[in-house]
Amino acid sequence: MALKIRLARGGSKKRPYYHVVVADVRAPRDGRFIEKLGSWNPMLAKDNAERIQLNEERIKHWIENGAQPTDRVMRFLDEAGLAKRDARNNPKKALPGKKAQERIKEKEALAAEKAAAEAEAAAAPAEEAAAE
pLDDT tens per residue, range 53-100: 999 999 999 999 999 999 999 999 998 888 888 888 888 888 888 999
Tell me the DSSP string of 56-88.
HHHHHHHHHTTPEEPHHHHHHHHHHTSS--PPP
- Do residues 52 and 38 touch, judged by C-beta distance below 8 A? yes
Domain extents for the chain? 3-80, 93-132
Domain covering 3-80 in this structure, CATH number: 3.30.1320.10
- pLDDT tens sequence across 12-60: 999 999 999 999 999 888 888 999 999 999 999 999 989 999 999 999 9
The whole model's pTM is what? Answer: 0.66
Q: What three-state secondary structure class fits 9? A: strand
128 confidence band (pLDDT: 50, 70, 90):
low
